Amino acid sequence: MIPLRDRIPHTLFPLFTLGLIALNCAVFFQEVILPRQQLKLMMEAYALVPERTVGFFRGSSVSASQAFLPFFSSMFLHGGWLHLIGNMWFLWIFGDNVEDRLGHLRYLWLYLASGLAGALTHIVFNPSSSIPTVGASGAIAGVMGAYLITFPGARILTLVPIFFFLTTVELPAFILIIYWLLLQFLSGMVSITMAEAVGGVAWFAHIGGFLAGILLMLVMRIGRR
């Protein structure tokens, strides 16, 4: 199921939502134009590698910047066009209303903190992984978590496959987002039972970011309209 738009207008200009989309796109275009070797070096320096972060605490030669800078930088890197477009589409669908509810700075804090929580969760479940992890999915999952508890009954026009056909239906936000969360959880559980669990999609980063977004929204919306 792919969300197309929701029915809630925003009253506050989504400055940071658009800014984050623009920044992610700008970084990705930089990835696209880099020669292969330079792109590899960029990923090695700025992508999140759980094994490297864990190694820092075990006394390896990893520096603090190598271990912790990727917690932030990896949020603005993407692994391909579909990865970027999918993330930015979900950010636009859900981000403008969360920003409208929280205000610009609180929204940015929720986004970044959710991304950090997602990265940490990924490391906890994959401490020995040497696979570079990139993407804004953890941060965007946090925005979705915030949206869920703020606008659970919002109607979202959704593209739904039915056998070999596609149709559009309006679904309550809680149905769409809980369905998405269930997919993340089931995929994550399958991944940890397989030998390839150190690679692939960072399913638990999505779950960690989502739960962080819920918690942060509950705290930060106190006193907001």
pLDDT in the model for residue 197: 44
Two tokens, residue 144? 């979705």
Contact 189, 173 (CB under 8 A): no
What's this model's pTM, rounded to 2 decimal places?
A: 0.90
Whole-angstrom distance, CA of residue 114 vs CA of residue 120: 10
What local confidence, expressed as pLDDT, does residue 192 receive?
65
With H, G, I as helix, E, B as strand and everything else as coil, classify residue 89: helix
pLDDT (0 to 100) of residue 79 = 87
pLDDT, tens digit (0-9, with 9 covering 90-100), for 180-191: 999 888 877 776
Are the beta carbons of 2 and 168 closer than 8 angstroms? Answer: no
Which burial class, exposed, middle or buried, applies to 76 when counting CB atoms under 10 A from its CB (0-12, 13-18, 19+)? buried
- pLDDT for the residue 147: 96
pLDDT of residue 224: 55
pLDDT along the chain (225 residues), means of 10: 86 94 96 92 90 85 85 92 93 95 94 95 88 92 96 90 82 92 82 54 87 93 61
Q: Which residues, 6+ apart, have CB-to-CB distance to 34 below 8 Å?
A: 42
pLDDT tens profile 128-154? 888 888 999 999 999 999 999 999 999
- Joined together, the tokens standing for residue 4 give 């197309």
CATH architecture, domain 2-220: Up-down Bundle (1.20)
The structural domains of the chain, with segments of one domain joined by +, span 2-220
Q: Are 161 and 125 in contact (CB under 8 A)?
A: no
